[in-house]
Structure 1
Amino acid sequence: MRTFSLLKGLPVYTLQTGSRIGQICDISISSNGMVKGLIVKKGTFLKRNCFIDIQNVASFGWDGIMVEDETVLKPLKKPEPYTFESRQRLTGKMLMTSQGERLGILEDVYFKEELGTIVGYECSDGFFSDITEGKRVVKTDEPPAIGKDAIIVNVKE
């Protein structure tokens, strides 16, 4: 299990040549709350974003992401409906339970790398609350309902 904040900025390498082909800058999330792929920043001067389907990742290491070869990089035309930090971003959205309880503002997600399943959400009640009580991690079994104003989750007891 991994959080997006641990993935962000990791380099992506090919297994065939050992070449560094970019670095993770965001994740693509479907409307049913599944991580569909990684958005990779490629290039040094003329940076452009590319997409790697989660199924095409050979391994998730702590110091880098491995893919078979550079052909898994696809041009980023239109990612899934949501991303974590850029297009229709999920960070900063209100996280609520299906019973109507406010959980806080979404700051990070926990997901199973191999499956792309989001299993937890890290949320904040504000700076002072984070210092005194820490951030809250909400675990779920079912996909969330992602809306314009909030993300609704069924909380795991």
Structure 2
Amino acid sequence: MRRAQDIMGLPVIEIEAGKQVGTAKDFLIDRDWNLQGVLLESKHWFASPRYVAWDDIVSIGADAVTIGNEEAVRSWDDESDTFGLLNGNFKLKGMPVITVNGDQLGLVEDVYFGEKMDKKIVGYELSGGFISDIKEGRKWLPSPESATIGEDAVIVPVGCVAQDTPSFHEIG
């Protein structure tokens, strides 16, 4: 299992020519909680955003994200049905996670995905705020069967409970 933020800042290398095509800046996520791609850091202020679709990623290692060739790099429209974890007009980080009955579980701090390059997000790291994070640590919310990403909050079923963050080998 990998945390999304552990990937940010890694170089994106195309293996056909061994050329770096960018740096991982953010993850693109759809409303069904599937990873759709990796947004690349722009080298120029006015350059249009670029991304690599999740299906075009060969591997995500400890030191780099690899893709087949430079043709995998595409333009990204910020108004599309995807949104960023950290950046963009609509971002997931910092959104409150609230149960249907109105209990706030925390704020989205990070997402976790499986080691086998699965698109599905398997869980969320939640923050209770700076002081709570220091005193109690962040919480882990396994991905519920259904969750709604709204304009101002993520809505989850009533039975969802944030737990202490497990170690990676406990998650899967």
TM-score, normalising length from structure 1?
0.89
- Contact 2:49 2:77 (8 Å CA) reproduced: no
Structure with the higher strand share, 1 or 2 = 1
The residue number in structure 1 matching 2:168 is none
Give the share of equivalent positions with the same residue, in percent: 30
1:80 to partner: Cα distance: 3.1
Partner residue of 2:135 out of 113, 123, 132: 132
Instruction: Give the secondary structure class of the aligned counterpart of 1:55.
Output: helix
**CA distance in structure 2 between the partners assigned to 1:40 and 1:152 by the alignment:** 29
Unaligned runs of 5+ in 1: none
Per-residue Cα deviation, 1:106-156 (whole angstroms, up to 9, x for no partner): 111111261211111111111111111000011124242100121123437
The residue number in structure 1 matching 2:87 is 86
Instruction: Give the secondary structure class of the aligned counterpart of 1:59.
Output: strand
The residue number in structure 1 matching 2:170 is none
* Aligned-residue RMSD, C-alpha: 2.1
The residue number in structure 2 matching 1:61 is 61
- Contact 1:14 1:21 (8 Å CA) reproduced: yes
Number of matched pairs: 157
Unaligned runs of 5+ in 2: 164-172
Q: Alpha carbons of 1:53 and 1:104: their partners in 2 closer, same or farther (altered >3 Å)?
A: same
The answer to whether residue 60 in structure 2 is matched with residue 73 in structure 1 is no
1:102 to partner: Cα distance: 1.2
1:33 to partner: Cα distance: 1.4
**CA distance in structure 2 between the partners assigned to 1:77 and 1:140 by the alignment:** 27
1:100 to partner: Cα distance: 3.4
The residue number in structure 2 matching 1:52 is 52
**CA distance in structure 2 between the partners assigned to 1:52 and 1:37 by the alignment:** 5
**CA distance in structure 2 between the partners assigned to 1:18 and 1:9 by the alignment:** 18
- Contact 1:41 1:47 (8 Å CA) reproduced: no
- Contact 1:112 1:119 (8 Å CA) reproduced: yes
Instruction: Give the secondary structure class of the aligned counterpart of 1:43.
Output: coil
TM-score, normalising length from structure 2?
0.82
